[in-house]
Structure 1
Amino acid sequence: MEDLNFVYSYDLMRQEIHELETVHRGLVQVEVIGQAPYGRDIFAIGIGHGPACAVLSGSHHAREWMTTQLLMKMLRTYASAYVSNYAVGGYAVREILDQTTIWFVPMVDVDGVELQQRGATAFSESVRESLIQMNRGSEDFSAWKANAEGLDLNRQYDGAWEGISVDAVTHPASKNYKGTRPFEAMEVKALMAFLEKVNPPAEIAYHSAGEVIFWGLELDLDDPRHMAGKELANLTGYELLPPLSDKHGGGLTDWWTYNLGKIGFTVEIGSPTTGEGPVSQTEFPKVWEANQAVGMWMANYVLQNSLLSSGDVQT
């Protein structure tokens, strides 16, 4: 039976990253790519021996920390599969990882996750009052999505940023505040710099909830990325949605596909009935079953379509 009180915390992630780096030295590499406003490190973990093929990110939103739980299990599984030379989801892990490196940024909003899980007491007394004010005077942060400065990190990328109008707010808040300019948040700056450095041809941003897949803004259905999205939908059993209008922009995948023309997906785990809070731990086995091979699928897709050399989508 699942522990309904379990939370996948920042400290647990750090512990597992250390264990992975220690046990799988040479296969797994760890980088601190930046810090959040309150000093917590943002980690990237690479697995493989080749050039970067994809970056998979999680917890852009604080209450969506099951995405971190998922990505860390993915890392552990791929590392074990490489050592023992077994397949995951029909994909030959060792063969793929000898040619590529998959990078994971499992928790982008490290401050926000701490705030959502532990409340304002996880921060110094000097800022607790301002955090509670941003939360409309409540000390219950269970529905919190933003970072600890009230910025919604998935409205911080310059993918149709100026036109965002859906559920917009005009001040720091628990969700949906896009800030005064794109790429303003320290967390987003850190991830941007890392993406520029490793230059992968693909990315997948995990969110919750809805069991759906987004693949860009204002794109045509004859775009080759649509066919890739169909493959991902078949793999996960999630619904591939039509491209959204530019009123929904600001996400990592929006910027990645709309501005850079690369291949990217936003994958929403968890049932559509999750509501204003984290996905229940009762759903994690189902989430894992649907998504365990996604990293291997993405790496294999990049290899099969010869995307490593150019970083461009083949037409």
Structure 2
Amino acid sequence: MEITIRAEDTLSYYSHLFKVPLNLMEDSNPNISPTNMKVRGKVRIPGYISVPYVIEDGDSLWDLASAKGLHVDAILILNPTLESQLLKKDELIYIPERIGTAHTSVKTPCHYKSLVKTIQSLKKLYPFITVNTIGKSILGNSIHEIRIGRGKKKVHMNASFHANEWITTMVLMSLVNKYLHSLTNEELIRGEKASRFYEEIELSIVPMVNPDGVDLVLNGPPLKVKEEVVTINEGSEEFVHWKANIKGIDLNNQFPANWDICKRNKEPKSPASRDFPGDSPLTEPEAIAMADLAKNNSFDLVIAFHTQGEEFYWGYEGLEPPISEEIAIEFERVSGYQAIRYVNSHAGYKDWFIQEFKRPGFTIELGKGINPLPLSQFQKILKPAEEIFFAALSF
């Protein structure tokens, strides 16, 4: 929501007026400071929308404000021509309204364009977040990263490395939305004020690592690559179980953590709908973008959301630090998922992160069944994912 600056107004006053933490006000308006509060300039208020309202007989500003838990001035600031004592029947005014949590859809599968719309919506509603493009897919789709927070501790989470695991994008975006809502409403997270997490942590989110693959599973192949992907798919035009990127390379087998062992062990020796690790590590732009993201940031902890198994993996070749076990014990406690230290698997993002940086990395396998897991499992999947999400912010 945008408001117009009046004489003598300050960000601190807006913070008090709308009950939004000052740090979020400042980060939503990075070009505004006490020395350049220009009258008639615009200020963005995170966590609010302006709702039109037609005045009815008997309405008063005090009643309208009280109904929304607002100060009268919060309405006046949105309606600069309105006089506090004079409300005219049938007059159109605007009333500030705190937004609820339901700004991420769970009714239909999330493809690339719907993700872009959701990110744009969240950026408008919560302008203190930063949205970056960390790379492009084979087909030129942006790989988006969302940044939240000011802290020195850096936590990264991602989803949809695998195309038919698109439900992980929906889970992660729902959790991001809940976190943003908690921040603007000064709610408690695991018994702590949400503002503490914002000040102490910078959270990095890549909600869809493999946009081309997700769209292939959900929408079918674009004409320009249809012949190629049908050939890779052994002549079938059914792509529901496709895991790889659009070139038939499994992005979570692309990282230089014993990649040669992965190459030797995996059955496909050429592009396929799943498991083919490519002809060498880090050939695919999506994998390169994720590797560069980790190299260019000093992440303290990384979580990759996958499906399925109701378990998670937290070690690699004995290179994980001691704190990884502490975190794993807590993840297991809050989620009910089984903590597994080692599996016979290599070349994954979590594997490479642990090997490269000797810091905690986790692969979370949400839900149980056959991929892609159906939307009917969403709520069941969301709860343990939420517990892990917020537990990760506590370390």
TM-score bracket, normalised by the shorter chain, equals: 0.7 to 0.9
Correspondence for 2:338:
239
| 1:311 alignment partner in structure 2 | none
Q: Residue 357 of structure 2 is aligned with which of 254, 260, 284?
A: 260
Deviations, residues 229-285 of structure 1 (Å, cap 9, x unaligned): 11111121100113124xx101000011133211110000011xx22x311112111
Q: Output the CA distance in 1 between the equivalents of 2:391 and 2:147.
A: 16
- TM-score between both structures, scaled by the size of structure 2: 0.70
Please report how far the alpha carbon of residue 217 of structure 1 lies from its aligned counterpart in structure 2 after TM superposition: 2.1
Cα distance change, pair 64–213 in 1 and its aligned pair in 2 (3 A): same
| 1:145-184 correspondence to structure 2 within 5 Å | 145-164=243-262, 165-184=264-283
Partners of 1:168 and 1:242 lie apart in 2 by 24
Point out where structure 2 has 5 or more consecutive residues left out of the alignment: 1-104
Residue 10 (structure 1) aligned to one of 112, 126, 142? 112
Query: Equivalent of 1:61, from 162, 166, 184?
Result: 162
Deviations 1:189-217, CA, capped at 9 Å, x for gaps? 11122222222111000000001100122
Tell me, what secondary structure is at the counterpart of 1:72?
helix
Q: Verify the 8 A CA contact 1:167 1:176 in the aligned structure 2.
A: yes
Question: 8 Å contact 2:164–2:214 — kept in the other structure?
Answer: yes
In the TM superposition, residue 219 of structure 1 has moved relative to its aligned partner by 2.1
Greater gyration radius: 2
Name the count of aligned residue pairs. 290
Aligned equivalent of 2:211: 110
**Contact 2:321–2:360 (CA<8 Å) still a contact in 1?**
no
Provide closer, same or farther for how the CA distance between residues 154 and 91 of structure 1 changes in structure 2, counting only shifts above 3 A.
farther
Per the alignment, residue 86 of structure 2 pairs with none
Answer yes or no: is 1:283 the counterpart of 2:382.
Answer: no
RMSD: 1.9
Relative to structure 1, the CA distance from residue 49 to residue 283 in structure 2 (aligned partners, 3 Å threshold; closer, same or farther) is same
Single out whichever of 186-195 and 55-64 deviates more from structure 2.
186-195
- In 2: Cα distance, 1:282 partner to 1:89 partner: 27
Cα distance in 2, alignment partners of residues 50 and 25 from structure 1? 17
1-side partners of 2:282 and 2:321: how far apart? 30
Could you tell me the percent identity over the aligned residues?
27
Structure 1 runs, 4 residues or longer, greater than 6 Å off: none
Gap regions ≥5 residues in structure 1:
302-315
3-state DSSP class of the match of 1:56? Answer: strand
1:22 aligns with 2:22: no
**Residue 73 to residue 221, structure 1, CA distance change in 2 (3 Å):** closer
Q: Is the 8 Å Cα contact of residues 36 and 109 (structure 1) preserved in structure 2?
A: yes
The alignment partner of 1:32 has SS state of strand
Helix, strand or coil at the partner of 2:275: coil
Matched ranges for 1:303-314 at <5 A: none
1:140–1:284 distance in 2 versus 1, CA, 3 Å:
same
**2:323 and 2:360 in contact (8 A); partners too:** no
Larger mean Cα displacement after TM superposition, 208-217 or 147-156: 208-217
- Pair 1:146–1:24, CA change in 2 (3 A): same
1:208 aligns to what? 307
- Of 92-101 and 8-17, more deviation after overlay is shown by 92-101
Structure showing greater relative contact order (alpha-carbon pairs closer than 8 Å, 6 or more residues apart): 1
Per the TM alignment, residue 113 of structure 1 is displaced from its structure 2 partner at its CA by 0.3
Match in the other structure for 2:328: 229
